[in-house]
């Protein structure tokens, strides 16, 4: 690394000239390829995921699109016309929809032969599924495989066709995976460019206020923007699918690149002060490469710990962000020293004598050092108390994976869901599949009667909507009875059922193979009820259904089992997994970064003590969320490991200068003051840049991006306070003696040290 700036200028220019166009091209391609896929949120090794895959293989895995509108009644001809026109719509030469059904069509089918149900009976069977409490109805369309490649085109075509039959697009109420995917895509990209530009303006403003040099500001921003583009280019180079979560990578890399550039610029400024302009950039690299390398390593470890998640979008973010910060370090140490040597800031070169005394915060750090020195015991006690309170709060955390927690409350798709659930019925699928083995002694009629009974139990479970099963296509089943007429009627009915198995298969609610017979009971729960606990719902359902299965098996000697699947058990599993991933990524990052700190400090106890101010921010912020009630979602979960990796950056820089102070034969108190004078201002600058540069993303309408932005800003702010107050208190207090023992033979210090020591004296 020290030889970086010895590279011939022409070689660096040629290297940039060759790579820059491709980096821009690859970054553009990555931005264009970002797409959310519902299947990405289904970890393949989850039993719940495997069960859902099994359900799709057995009964078909159509992506459904529900469409309705105010005034959509059974007699409304517009719905029929809409269904007919959409049935003939194509996409890439293939039908856009595999099948479309309407409430009026289903009602007519139930009333026709052979069922010939009365209108009242037919309506009752459709209620809560495709027919609302006041006879409002809807259309359910099954999206074809070709249409899944561009869901936005599907929705645009639906809006166009609806307008042609007298239904304006803003009157349509739609739900389903197609609508959810498009809504997430739009929310994650809405205002993204504007917010990114605001972040850029904030960083430029802070940089200029810090350095008062237009040329230096442009150099730092240029290398940061190149790092940001490179982080996007990695997405294209690796050919890994990208999604809305990945869009947070370039913003994170950008602010971290600015942070690293600020530290390097401060090292360069110090070298100008003490050694002159000649070779200043080379000396700055020699002094800065180790703390910056260690800081980047810990950041990459913190971000890389997210790859341990079972959720693919989180894994990809961990990979892309770790690659991004690694590439960022290469850019900073290849390009920035060259630019500083070729175009040194004129204000620094022309007035080098004023640089050493130009820190406007020098008096602040002197006063803070005195406060910490006199109150270090109290500060350590406050730190221990915050750790305890925060740890208790973390135990109260809850997670969520619902659509309603990913989008703002006024999002159109959420309004549509609320309208459809109030006018039609619940929308979050819950499936119960009863598996009858081939050696089951019961007749088809007896099985149908048992399935119908289980269906009634499922429908009667609190928070569950109408339950459908294959028996909805049967005439009213005969009641059990011992008379001859009853026996004959059941025999004839059973024969009719045997002859109509093909029709049962068409319903997607019944399947039969050589080994078993499957009866599917399809129900749903409300998506718009934030108080609904999916875990309690599943437990409640099992408590009602499982005893009935056990009772029947005990009587018949058979073994009927129930498979519980659908979105509800899977979402419950993902919610629990988010908390598990939070703990795993955080503890992994803590463990690996602690090892790095022990190696850097050359003393296990010194390394462990250095981790206290870095663990504290995560414990405090997440503990506060546990006490105050906000639920953890994917954006929150990703901040824990990332924050500790980034927070260690300032710790490493502070400890580097503290140890240099010890190497100059200063006592611990004097070494702390020396560290304050040497890097506290740079720590404040980088924290402001990172914190405010990310905080602006809290304006995003996509909750994971917004939560990631403000939580990481809060974590970094807390980390700055920890490094400027708690870490010095530890170093000055009794525990700080281990750092003196860990200090080996005096190290060669940067040339700035003599000047600063003299100034302190």
What average pLDDT does the segment 481-501 reach? 66
Q: What pLDDT does 354 receive? A: 53
Question: Treating both helix axes as pointing N-terminal to C-terminal, what angle do 192-211 and 214-238 enclose, rounded to 10 degrees?
Answer: 140
Q: What pLDDT does 238 receive? A: 84
How many CA within 13 A on the CB side of residue 85? Answer: 16
Cα 283–Cα 287–Cα 293 angle in degrees, nearest 5: 125
Q: Examine the pLDDT at 349 and tell me if it is beyond 80.
A: no
The secondary structure of 567-615 as a DSSP string is: HHHHHHHHHHHHHHHHHHHHHHHHHHHHHHHHHHHTSHHHHHHHHHHHH
Provide the 8-state DSSP code for 422: H
Top mean pLDDT of 63-67, 485-489, 564-568 is at 63-67
* Residue 481: band (very low, low, confident or very high) from pLDDT cuts 50, 70, 90: low
> Tokens for 350?
């022309």
Higher pLDDT, 549 or 344: 549
Nearest residue to 82 via CA among 15, 139, 8, 121: 139
Q: What is the mean pLDDT of the chain?
A: 84
Question: Treating both helix axes as pointing N-terminal to C-terminal, what angle do 567-601 and 47-59 enclose, rounded to 10 degrees?
Answer: 150
Task: Say if residues 173 and 420 touch (Cβ distance below 8 Å).
Answer: yes
* Residue 576: band (very low, low, confident or very high) from pLDDT cuts 50, 70, 90: confident
Top mean pLDDT of 249-253, 398-402, 717-721 is at 717-721
Query: Do 512 and 576 fall within a single domain?
Result: no
Provide the 8-state DSSP code for 442: S
Higher pLDDT, 503 or 58: 58
Nearest residue to 624 via CA among 705, 532, 718: 718
265-274, 489-498, 582-591, 622-631: the lowest-pLDDT one: 489-498
> What CATH number is attached to the domain comprising 753?
1.20.1640.10
| Phi, psi (rounded to 5 degrees) for 526 | -75, 135
Distances (CA, A) of 599 to 596, 607, 608, 610, 734: 5, 8, 11, 12, 22
Beta carbons within 10 angstroms of residue 13's beta carbon: 12
Q: What pLDDT does 277 receive? A: 80
- Cα first-last separation, the chain: 33
Q: What pLDDT does 159 receive? A: 94
Q: Please report whether residue 14 resides in a domain.
A: yes
Higher pLDDT, 641 or 258: 258
Distances (CA, A) of 515 to 56, 419, 511, 518, 760: 18, 43, 11, 10, 86
Q: Please report whether residue 409 resides in a domain.
A: no
Task: Say if residues 438 and 514 touch (Cβ distance below 8 Å).
Answer: yes
Q: What pLDDT does 746 receive? A: 42
Beta carbons within 10 angstroms of residue 154's beta carbon: 26
Q: Please report whether residue 233 resides in a domain.
A: yes
* Residue 761: band (very low, low, confident or very high) from pLDDT cuts 50, 70, 90: very low
Distances (CA, A) of 80 to 86, 104, 168, 425, 667: 10, 8, 16, 21, 86
Q: Please report whether residue 45 resides in a domain.
A: no
Q: What pLDDT does 488 receive? A: 64
Q: Examine the pLDDT at 256 and tell me if it is beyond 80.
A: yes
Query: Do 221 and 111 fall within a single domain?
Result: no
Q: What pLDDT does 721 receive? A: 93
Q: What pLDDT does 348 receive? A: 75
How many domains does one find in the chain? 3
> What CATH number is attached to the domain comprising 77?
3.30.70
Q: Examine the pLDDT at 178 and tell me if it is beyond 70.
A: yes
The secondary structure of 182-222 as a DSSP string is: HHHHHHHHTTHHHHHHHHHHHHHHHHHHHH--HHHHHHHHH
Q: Examine the pLDDT at 754 and tell me if it is beyond 50.
A: no
Specify which residues 510 forms β-bridges with. Answer: 519
Query: Do 520 and 585 fall within a single domain?
Result: no
The whole-angstrom separation of Cα 745 and Cα 761 is 23
> What CATH number is attached to the domain comprising 469?
3.30.70.1320
* Residue 728: band (very low, low, confident or very high) from pLDDT cuts 50, 70, 90: very high
Question: Treating both helix axes as pointing N-terminal to C-terminal, what angle do 214-238 and 9-32 enclose, rounded to 10 degrees?
Answer: 60
Query: Do 28 and 142 fall within a single domain?
Result: no
Task: Say if residues 525 and 473 touch (Cβ distance below 8 Å).
Answer: no
Distances (CA, A) of 749 to 283, 289, 290, 654, 757: 11, 14, 13, 14, 12
* Residue 1: band (very low, low, confident or very high) from pLDDT cuts 50, 70, 90: very low
Token pair 């463990």 in the structure block, residue: 591
Q: What pLDDT does 485 receive? A: 61
Q: Examine the pLDDT at 283 and tell me if it is beyond 80.
A: yes
Of 166, 187, 208, the one marking the end of a domain is 187
Query: Do 587 and 541 fall within a single domain?
Result: no
The whole-angstrom separation of Cα 554 and Cα 675 is 76
Q: What pLDDT does 8 receive? A: 57
pLDDT one-digit tens code per residue, 598-647: 988 888 998 899 999 989 999 999 999 999 987 888 888 888 877 887 88
Of 161, 187, 213, the one marking the end of a domain is 187
Q: Examine the pLDDT at 459 and tell me if it is beyond 70.
A: yes
Q: What pLDDT does 742 receive? A: 55
User: Strand 510-512's sheet: what is its strand order?
Assistant: 510-512, 516-525, 428-437, 561-565
Q: Please report whether residue 403 resides in a domain.
A: no
Provide the 8-state DSSP code for 527: S
Token pair 């200029």 in the structure block, residue: 208
* Residue 424: band (very low, low, confident or very high) from pLDDT cuts 50, 70, 90: very high
Element (H, E) at 436: strand 428-437
Query: Do 199 and 341 fall within a single domain?
Result: yes
Q: Please report whether residue 51 resides in a domain.
A: no
Query: Do 593 and 717 fall within a single domain?
Result: yes
Q: What pLDDT does 669 receive? A: 92
Query: Do 579 and 559 fall within a single domain?
Result: no
pLDDT one-digit tens code per residue, 82-126: 999 999 998 878 889 988 999 999 999 889 887 788 999 999 889
Q: Please report whether residue 356 resides in a domain.
A: no
Q: What pLDDT does 751 receive? A: 43
Query: Do 603 and 735 fall within a single domain?
Result: yes
Q: What pLDDT does 13 receive? A: 60
pLDDT one-digit tens code per residue, 406-423: 888 888 999 999 999 999
Of 170, 187, 204, the one marking the end of a domain is 187
pLDDT one-digit tens code per residue, 132-159: 988 899 999 998 887 887 888 999 999 9
Q: Please report whether residue 660 resides in a domain.
A: yes
Q: Examine the pLDDT at 722 and tell me if it is beyond 90.
A: yes
Task: Say if residues 43 and 49 touch (Cβ distance below 8 Å).
Answer: yes
Query: Do 308 and 453 fall within a single domain?
Result: no
> Which range marks the domain in which residue 529 is found?
423-565
Q: Examine the pLDDT at 187 and tell me if it is beyond 70.
A: yes
Query: Do 103 and 240 fall within a single domain?
Result: no
What average pLDDT does the segment 209-231 reach? 89
The whole-angstrom separation of Cα 755 and Cα 149 is 64
| Phi, psi (rounded to 5 degrees) for 404 | -65, -20
Q: Examine the pLDDT at 4 and tell me if it is beyond 60.
A: no
Most distant pair of Cα atoms in the chain: their distance: 113
3-state secondary structure at position 372 = helix
Q: Examine the pLDDT at 758 and tell me if it is beyond 70.
A: no
Q: What pLDDT does 273 receive? A: 79
Query: Do 609 and 523 fall within a single domain?
Result: no
31-40, 240-249, 507-516, 666-675: the lowest-pLDDT one: 31-40
* Residue 489: band (very low, low, confident or very high) from pLDDT cuts 50, 70, 90: low
Q: What pLDDT does 39 receive? A: 65
Burial class (CB in 10 A: 0-12, 13-18, 19+), 476: exposed
347-361, 398-412, 523-537, 704-718: the lowest-pLDDT one: 347-361
**SS3 of 704-746:** HHHHHHHHHHHHHHHHHHHHHHHHHHHHHCHHHHHHHHHCCCC
**Percent above pLDDT 90 for the chain:** 30
Helices (H), 40-172: 47-59, 77-87, 103-111, 119-126, 151-164
Q: Examine the pLDDT at 355 and tell me if it is beyond 70.
A: no
């Amino acid at each position: 690394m020290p030889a970086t700036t010895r590279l011939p200028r022409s070689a660096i220019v040629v290297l940039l000239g060759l790579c820059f166009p491709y980096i821009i091209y690859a970054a553009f391609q990555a931005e264009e390829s970002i797409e959310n896929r519902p299947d990405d949120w289904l970890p393949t090794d989850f039993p719940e995921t495997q069960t859902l895959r099994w359900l799709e293989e057995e009964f078909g895995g159509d992506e459904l699109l529900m469409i309705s509108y105010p005034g959509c009644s059974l007699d409304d001809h517009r719905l029929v016309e809409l269904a007919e026109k959409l049935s003939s719509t194509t996409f890439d030469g293939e039908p856009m929809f595999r099948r479309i059904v309407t409430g009026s069509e289903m009602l007519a089918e139930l009333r026709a032969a052979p069922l010939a149900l009365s209108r009242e009976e037919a309506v009752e069977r459709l209620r809560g599924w495709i027919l609302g409490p006041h006879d409002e109805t809807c259309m359910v369309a099954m999206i074809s495989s070709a249409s899944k490649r561009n869901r936005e085109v599907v929705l645009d075509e639906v809006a166009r066709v609806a307008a042609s039959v007298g239904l304006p697009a803003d009157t349509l109420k739609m739900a389903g995976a197609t609508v959810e995917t498009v809504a997430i895509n739009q929310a994650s990209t809405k205002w993204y460019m504007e917010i990114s530009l605001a972040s850029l303006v904030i960083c430029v403003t802070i940089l200029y206020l810090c350095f008062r040099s237009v040329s230096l500001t442009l150099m730092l921003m240029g290398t940061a923007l190149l790092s940001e583009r490179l982080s996007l280019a990695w997405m294209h180079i690796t050919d890994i699918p990208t999604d809305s979560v990945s869009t947070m990578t370039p913003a994170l890399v950008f602010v971290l690149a600015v942070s690293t550039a600020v530290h390097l610029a401060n090292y360069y400024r110090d070298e100008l002060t003490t050694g002159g302009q000649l070779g200043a950039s080379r000396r700055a690299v020699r002094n800065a490469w180790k703390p910056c390398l260690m800081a980047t390593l810990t950041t990459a470890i913190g971000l890389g710990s997210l790859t341990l998640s079972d959720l693919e979008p989180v894994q990809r973010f961990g990979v892309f962000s770790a690659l991004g910060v690694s590439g960022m370090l290469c850019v900073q140490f290849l390009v920035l020293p060259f630019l500083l040597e070729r175009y040194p800031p004129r204000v620094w070169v022309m007035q080098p004598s004023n640089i050493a005394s130009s820190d406007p915060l020098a008096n602040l750090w002197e006063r803070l050092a005195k406060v910490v020195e006199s109150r270090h015991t109290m500060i350590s006690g406050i730190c221990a108390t915050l750790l305890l309170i925060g740890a208790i709060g973390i135990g109260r955390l809850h997670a969520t994976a619902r659509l309603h927690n990913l989008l703002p409350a006024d999002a159109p798709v959420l309004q549509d869901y609320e309208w459809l659930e109030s006018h039609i019925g619940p929308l979050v699928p819950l499936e119960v599949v009863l598996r009858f083995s081939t050696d089951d002694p019961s007749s088809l009629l007896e099985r149908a009667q048992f399935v119908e009974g289980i269906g009634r139990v499922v429908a009667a479970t609190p928070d569950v909507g109408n339950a459908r099963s294959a028996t909805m296509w049967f005439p009213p089943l005969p009641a059990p009875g011992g008379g001859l007429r009853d026996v004959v009627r059941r025999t004839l009915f059973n024969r009719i059922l045997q002859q109509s198995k093909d029709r049962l298969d068409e319903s997607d609610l019944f399947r039969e193979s050589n080994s078993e017979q499957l009866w599917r009971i399809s129900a749903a729960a409300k998506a718009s009820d934030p108080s609904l606990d999916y875990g309690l719902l599943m437990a409640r359902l099992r408590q009602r259904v499982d005893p009935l299965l056990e009772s029947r098996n005990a009587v018949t000697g058979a073994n009927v089992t129930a498979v519980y699947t659908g979105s509800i058990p899977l979402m419950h599993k993902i919610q629990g997994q988010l908390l598990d991933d939070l703990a795993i990524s955080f503890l992994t990052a803590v463990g690996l970064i602690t090892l790095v700190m022990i190696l850097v400090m050359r003393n296990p106890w010194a390394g462990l003590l250095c981790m206290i101010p870095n663990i504290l921010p995560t414990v405090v912020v997440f503990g506060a969320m546990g006490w105050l009630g906000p639920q953890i979602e994917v954006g929150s979960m990703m901040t824990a490991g990332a924050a500790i990796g980034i927070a260690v950056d300032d710790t490493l820089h502070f400890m580097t200068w503290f140890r240099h102070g010890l190497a100059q034969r200063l006592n611990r108190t004097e070494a702390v003051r020396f560290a304050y004078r040497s890097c506290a201002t740079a720590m404040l600058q980088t924290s402001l840049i990172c914190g405010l540069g990310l905080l602006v993303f809290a304006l995003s309408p996509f909750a994971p991006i917004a939560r990631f932005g403000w939580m990481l800003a809060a974590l970094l702010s807390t980390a700055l306070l920890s490094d400027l107050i708690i870490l010095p208190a530890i170093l000055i207090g009794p525990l700080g003696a281990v750092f003196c023992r860990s200090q080996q033979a005096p190290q060669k210090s940067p040339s700035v040290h003599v000047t600063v020591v003299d100034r302190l004296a």
